[in-house]
Structure 1
Amino acid sequence: MSDTATLPTRRDEAWRYADADYLAKAKPEAINHWRTLEVPAGETRRECTVHGAGPQSPGMVDRLRVHVGRGGRFEAFKVITGGKYARVELDVTLEEGAHFEFGGVTIGGSDKVQEFVTLTRHDHPNATSNQTVRAVHWGQSTGSFLGEIKVARHAQKTDAAQDFKGLLLEAGASANAVPQLEIFADDVKCAHGATVGQLDEAARYYMAARGLSPDAAKRLLVQAFIGDAFVALEDEATRERMLEDALKALEEASL
């Protein structure tokens, strides 16, 4: 049966946190469609996107396959703020000496389900990758990161890292991290970390004692938290725009 005629379900490991209602109603050709990007050897390509569909949107899936040539660099900076369900998926293959940089932020409340899914293929030596994901949620919303790194047997000197942190502003929200490492080479550096917590109450008290309103304090703390995802984005104007678009989602949170 053709891939475009089938739909994934939550029994599929890569879709375990997806919105079941969306999957049941979606068109197979929409979910199974992949964009493709070829990064020539020695060159750099970048994607900076804010996915902010309105509250009436049933959901969206954006899937991108990237091949990065020898010594090339691909950067992806993504923010998910809107829609009941949103999934951004990246499948990146790295040639020798290539680099993949990813910074992702999910932020939202109500019953939103937002997720990043990445597969990084280190098929050649001396390639590097770094992924930083931040999730900020309240209400009954969920933010997830499923990140898989595959290192081939001959891909020596690979250096790959993933870092996920979740910030839950209310007890009903949740964050999920599923790091997966499949390593067949023996001279590599591969690391991953995942933590989930709440706002620093000591910091909020400190700000309140100096005259900042609760909303202003919350905004500053969240800004510092999600800013980590954009550290590698050298375009300052784009970095500030993406931060601002992400923080606008906080306006709907009456916490």
Structure 2
Amino acid sequence: MTALPTRRQEAWRYADLKTLEGLWPDRALMARELSGAALNLDERIDGGGWRDEEVTVSVAPGGRLTGLIEQAMDATGVATQLYRITLDEGAEADLTLLNHGGRYGRLALDISLHKGARLSLGGAIVGGGEQTLEIVTHVRHLGPDAVSEQTVRAVLGGRAVGSYLGQVAVAREAQKTDAEQSFKALLLARGATANAKPELEIFADDVKCAHGASIGELDKAALFYLESRGIAPRDAQALLAQAFVDDAIVALAEGPAREALLARLAALVEAA
């Protein structure tokens, strides 16, 4: 894309266009490609400035793609990452997305599933202050018997904006598709905003597709229960926030990425 996006483009309707407007004239889009039958896509997007990249990934028939994509830019950094992923016949992908750094962080995925392919995608958005963080997915079921599951959670404090735009498109040839999307957001402050736009576009007539979205606050009954057992209020809030995102990051092993996410959650709770 050479022109600056506008809000008339559905995938950019909640984007931080004001920030991008100042950067776009100097855009230097990076690009790289990966292909094979056994791929591990472990990415940590960090540093300052603007990280703008398009990554093309092709998984061979019967192959497997695993990995973690963590957006952890510095406080003033900007990330606009696009991953174009093709799962050939019978291929599988198991991916975890963490989006918690920078003033503006956008992780976009365009994933094509051919016959019998399977996708499991978990994502967590954790932001505070004036951050704008997005996960945008376009999952294309192009062949029959493919399965996709997306689970995204957002925890937002301060005046942060967190968005999930997820489209599942089922082609006429993609009979027996099984697709599911789930997005939930937890707001820790009145100034925080969550946007959700799950979308289904179905042209096949023998499919199983579902999506759901909800936005709310910490459960006061659960907080009372924990506090009545002697847990300090801030610790109780942190535990509930962690439990809230856990079902989206079940594939995330113990290590620096999980520790960074939990530290960010704790900081948001402390500031709330």
TM-score in terms of structure 1 length: 0.92
Aligned CA distance change for structure 1 residues 250 and 237 (closer, same or farther; 3 Å): closer
Letter in 2 for 1:220: L
> Is this contact kept in 2: 1:9–1:23, CA < 8 A?
no
Letter in 2 for 1:86: G
Q: Deviations over 1:163-213 (max 9, x none)?
A: 000000111111111111110100001100000010011111111112211
Higher helix share: 1
- 1:180 corresponds in structure 2 to 199
Measure the CA separation in 1 of the matches of 2:238 and 2:14.
27
Measure the CA separation in 1 of the matches of 2:148 and 2:97.
16
Aligned CA distance change for structure 1 residues 219 and 213 (closer, same or farther; 3 Å): same
- 2:71 corresponds in structure 1 to 51
Residue 76 (structure 1) shift = 1.6
> Is 1:18 paired with 2:15?
yes
| SS in structure 2 at match of 1:237 | coil
The match for 2:139 among 112, 120, 132 is: 120
The match for 2:231 among 212, 220, 225 is: 212
| SS in structure 1 at match of 2:191 | coil
Q: Deviations over 1:107-152 (max 9, x none)?
A: 1111111000000010000001000000100111111100011111
Letter in 1 for 2:6: T
Aligned CA distance change for structure 1 residues 32 and 61 (closer, same or farther; 3 Å): closer
Residue 251 (structure 1) shift = 3.7
Q: Deviations over 1:3-62 (max 9, x none)?
A: 3x32212232110100022220223443874210111111111120221112122x1111
Residue 216 (structure 1) shift = 1.3
The match for 1:164 among 183, 191, 196 is: 183
The match for 1:81 among 69, 77, 100 is: 100
Measure the CA separation in 2 of the matches of 1:183 and 1:151.
5
Letter in 2 for 1:171: R
- 2:46 corresponds in structure 1 to none
Q: Which stretch of the first structure deviates more once superposed, 9-18 or 134-143?
A: 9-18
> Is 1:193 paired with 2:205?
no
Q: Which stretch of the first structure deviates more once superposed, 243-252 or 208-217?
A: 243-252
Q: Which stretch of the first structure deviates more once superposed, 135-144 or 245-254?
A: 245-254
> Is 1:237 paired with 2:254?
yes
Measure the CA separation in 1 of the matches of 2:178 and 2:266.
39
> Is this contact kept in 2: 1:50–1:245, CA < 8 A?
no
Q: Which stretch of the first structure deviates more once superposed, 20-29 or 40-49?
A: 20-29
- 2:171 corresponds in structure 1 to 152
Letter in 1 for 2:62: G
Higher strand share: 2
How big is the alpha-carbon RMSD for the aligned residues of Structure 1 and Structure 2? 1.6
Alignment length (residue pairs): 247
Measure the CA separation in 2 of the matches of 1:69 and 1:119.
16
Letter in 1 for 2:144: P
Measure the CA separation in 2 of the matches of 1:192 and 1:114.
21
- 1:246 corresponds in structure 2 to 261
Measure the CA separation in 2 of the matches of 1:53 and 1:32.
12
Measure the CA separation in 2 of the matches of 1:251 and 1:221.
11
| SS in structure 2 at match of 1:134 | strand
Question: Where in structure 1 are there 5+ consecutive unaligned residues?
Answer: none
- 2:124 corresponds in structure 1 to 105
> Is 1:34 paired with 2:42?
no
> Is this contact kept in 2: 1:10–1:17, CA < 8 A?
yes
Residue 244 (structure 1) shift = 2.6
Q: Which stretch of the first structure deviates more once superposed, 44-53 or 107-116?
A: 44-53
| SS in structure 2 at match of 1:245 | helix
